[in-house]
Amino acid sequence: EGSGTEVSEPDPSDDEAIEKASGNRTATCQDSDSKPAVKKKRKQPTECFLSRPEEKQENTVKAKRRKKKKISDVLQKSAPKPGVPEDLQNLLTQHFGENRSVIELEELQLSDSCFLPANDLTHSFSSYLKEICPKWAKLRKTHKEKKSVVMLVLCSSALRSLELIKSMTAFKGDCRVLKLFAKHIKIKEQMNMLEKGVFHIGIGTPGRVKALVEQDALCLNSTKYVILDWNWRDQKLRRMMDIPEIKKETIDLLEKSIIKLCRDGSVKLGLF
C-alpha cells in the first residue's frame, strides 16, 4: 500500500562484483601464502647444491696436503733401520711376483751365503769395505783383466758416486777407480777406458752400468763384490730403492747379470 517502503530487488551485477572481489581476495591470499613456500623450496636446493660440494672439495684438498706432510714427517722422525738381505729379497719378490712363475721366482732367490755382512749404520764406507774385504790388497795385485772391475758399487746419482769415492780413500790406497755414471761423461769415453786400462773399483749408477754390460764394454765375470748403497737418503729422504727409475734399473741389472753370478758363488752382495 502507499505508505509501505519499497524493497529493492538485488542487482545481479552487484553479486557478480562481490564474487569477483572475494575471488580476488582469496587469490591474493593464496598467492601470499604460496609465494614464501616457493621461495623456501628454491633456496634450499640452491644452498645445498652450491655450498656443500665446495666444502667437500676444500676438505679433500686439505686432506691431500696433510697426507703429503705426514709422509715427510714420518721419514724425518722415524729411526733409521739398516737394510738386511731379507729386504732385497722381499723387493725382488714384490717386483716379479705377479708376472713370474714359481720356477722363475725360485731362480731369483738368493741364499744367505750370497750376501756379505750388512752395514749396521756404525761404519764409514772405508771401514765397511775393510770389514767385508779383508784380503783386498791381494785381490788388487792379482787383478790384471781389462773391461772388468773387482768391486762394483751402485748408488743413486753421480753426486753420490763422487762422495763415495772421496770417503773410500783410506780403503782403496793406490788402486784405480772408474766413474760409471752418465753425468758429464760420455759412454764411449768409459768404453775406451775399460778397453785400454785395468781398473779395480767401479762406482756409478745402475743405468750406466747396465748400458755398459749390455754393450759388452764391462764384463762382470771377474767381479767379486757388488755393493748397493742401500741405506743412504738424499735431500728428499729417499733411498736408492725409493726412486722408481733407479729401482727399476737396479732390479734389471740384478736379474740379467748379478743374481746368476751370486748363485754360482763368484759374486758376493753387500748392503751399505
- Which run of H or of E encompasses 153? strand 151-154
Q: How far apart are CA 140 and CA 149, in angstroms?
A: 10
pLDDT of 198 strictly over 60: yes
Strand partners, 177: 201
* pLDDT at residue 55, rounded to an integer: 54
Most confident of 74-83, 106-115, 257-266: 257-266
Identify which of 5-9, 28-32, 63-67, 111-115 has the greatest average pLDDT.
111-115
- CA–CA distances in Å: residue 137 to residues 91, 96, 143: 34, 38, 10
Query: What is the per-residue pLDDT across 88-145, written as a single tens digit (0 to 9) for each?
Result: 999 988 888 777 888 888 888 889 999 999 998 899 999 999 999 999 999 999 999 9
pLDDT computed for residue 105 by the predictor: 82
Mean per-residue pLDDT, 176-191: 94
Q: Report which secondary-structure segment, H or E, holds 151.
A: strand 151-154
At residue 97, the pLDDT reads: 77
pLDDT, residue 5, reads 47
Report the C-alpha gap between 134 and 155 in whole angstroms: 23
What pLDDT does residue 19 have?
A: 52
Rounded Cα distance between 216 and 30, Å, is 94
Q: What is the pLDDT of residue 247?
A: 95
pLDDT at 27: 47
pLDDT at 213 > cutoff 90: yes
Is the confidence at residue 259, as pLDDT, over 50?
A: yes
3-state secondary structure of 119: coil
What is the predicted pLDDT for the residue at 244? 94
At 62 the pLDDT is 57
- 79: pLDDT confidence band, cut at 50, 70 and 90? low
Backbone angles phi, psi at 201, to 5 degrees: -130, 135
Q: Is residue 261 within a helix (H) or strand (E), and if so which, with residue range?
A: helix 259-264
Q: Residue 80's pLDDT is what?
A: 74
Q: Are 52 and 45 in contact (CB under 8 A)?
A: no
Contacts of 100 (CB under 8 A, 6+ apart): 108
pLDDT at 168: 93
Q: How many CB atoms lie within 10 A of CB 225?
A: 20
Bridge pairing between strands 177-180 and 201-204: parallel
Predicted local distance difference test score (pLDDT) of residue 11: 53
Q: At residue 159, what is the residue type? A: L
Residue 177 sits at φ, ψ, to 5 deg, of -115, 135
* Of the listed ranges 18-27, 208-217, 226-235, 241-250, the one predicted with least confidence: 18-27
Residue type for position 123: H
Per-residue pLDDT at 40: 52
For the record, the C-alpha cell of 10 comes out as: 538485488
Residue 202 amino acid letter: G
pLDDT per residue as tens digits for the range 153-176: 999 999 999 999 999 999 988 899
* Average pLDDT, integer, range 60-66: 58
Separation between Cα atoms, residue 237 and residue 75, nearest integer Å = 7
